[in-house]
Amino acid sequence: MSIYQHFRKHEHPFVDQVLSWKEQVERTYTSYLTDFLDPREQQIVSSIVGSSNEEIKFIFFGGGDETERRRGIIAPYYEEISDKQFEMTLLEGTFDNKFNRLKHRDILGAFMSLGIDRKKIGDIFVADDHFQIIITEELTSYMIMNLQQIKKARINLKERVFSHLIRKQDQWITTNQTVSSLRLDIMVKEIYRMSRKDAVTYIKGNRVKVNHTDIDDPSVQVVAEDLISVRGHGRSKVVEINGVTRKDKIRVTTARLKA
């Protein structure tokens, strides 16, 4: 039985990466630190490394209890792991909010415009007159020196300790539904209350992401804990798949992020 049958085709390259990390730790008895992983990637690591593995273990940390994107350490079972080993920095940027309004996408875009790989960036938190972003430690000095403006807002960027991390205020509206299939187009149709034709148009138009990855195939099957985003319509997630009804409908619990 192939390990790949448990994962979607577009996930296979990441599965290969995880298998390589696992083999490296088992062979060298030294720990491996990943870049930031989204929730689905964390699931894949958990599945492949396995909680019952007696030789190695894995731990995720993203800076706080509520962080979504996290770095992982795969290590020999006997190695003690501290938060410091995850090599992350919390940066806080302040700006004059009298004439400026910054959004998550503005901040992410500014960092990536400086050549920063998305995998080197963790969660981003935005408040009225400041924001926080978690990045890999080696980028700290470079970002403080080079990021001085986002859109028209002048930015004062400085390092903060993780105890000052902004707590997320996200509100998710949970719904129990029955669907005919776990195909992406059907789930987008049901969650966002649009026609199936429109759902397919959005997906084929590269306006839908699953776990932060552009998906253009309407037939892709979603699984529990998948994060879905539709451009212009917000984010949602598959909380749980609850079995099948007598009429072969699938019971699912989904949640949509309140705007």
Q: What is the CATH number of the domain that holds 27?
A: 3.30.1370.160
CATH number for the domain harbouring residue 97:
3.30.70.330
pLDDT given at position 97: 80
CATH number for the domain harbouring residue 177:
3.10.290.10
Q: Which of 106, 139, 164 is the last residue of a domain?
A: 164
pLDDT surpassing 90 at residue 169? no
Question: Domain check: are 95 and 76 in the same one?
Answer: no
pLDDT given at position 258: 84
Query: Residue 97 and residue 206: Cα distance in Å, rounded?
Result: 33
pLDDT given at position 28: 96
Question: Domain check: are 43 and 9 in the same one?
Answer: yes
pLDDT surpassing 70 at residue 255? yes
pLDDT given at position 100: 78
Question: Domain check: are 218 and 246 in the same one?
Answer: yes
pLDDT surpassing 80 at residue 12? yes
Question: Domain check: are 155 and 125 in the same one?
Answer: yes
Is there a contact between 157 and 176 (Cβ–Cβ < 8 Å)? no
Q: Which of 164, 197, 221 is the last residue of a domain?
A: 164
Question: Domain check: are 19 and 78 in the same one?
Answer: yes
pLDDT given at position 166: 86
pLDDT tens digits, one per residue of 203-244: 999 999 999 889 999 999 999 989 999 999 999 999 999 999
pLDDT given at position 181: 96
pLDDT given at position 66: 85
Question: Domain check: are 57 and 94 in the same one?
Answer: no
Percent over 70 (pLDDT), the chain: 98
Q: Which domain holds residue 157?
A: 88-164
pLDDT given at position 1: 57
Query: Residue 113 and residue 143: Cα distance in Å, rounded?
Result: 11
Q: Which of 82, 117, 138 is the last residue of a domain?
A: 82
pLDDT tens digits, one per residue of 47-82: 999 866 789 999 999 999 889 999 999 999 999 999
Structure tokens at 51: 């909680």
Q: In residues, how long is the chain?
A: 259
pLDDT given at position 101: 84
Query: Residue 252 and residue 107: Cα distance in Å, rounded?
Result: 34
Question: Domain check: are 151 and 183 in the same one?
Answer: no
Query: Residue 49 and residue 64: Cα distance in Å, rounded?
Result: 23
pLDDT tens digits, one per residue of 116-140: 999 999 999 998 889 999 999 999 9
Total tally of structural domains belonging to the chain: 3
Q: pTM of the prediction? A: 0.84
Question: Domain check: are 75 and 92 in the same one?
Answer: no
Question: Domain check: are 183 and 248 in the same one?
Answer: yes
Question: Domain check: are 71 and 19 in the same one?
Answer: yes
Is there a contact between 141 and 158 (Cβ–Cβ < 8 Å)? no
Question: Domain check: are 67 and 126 in the same one?
Answer: no
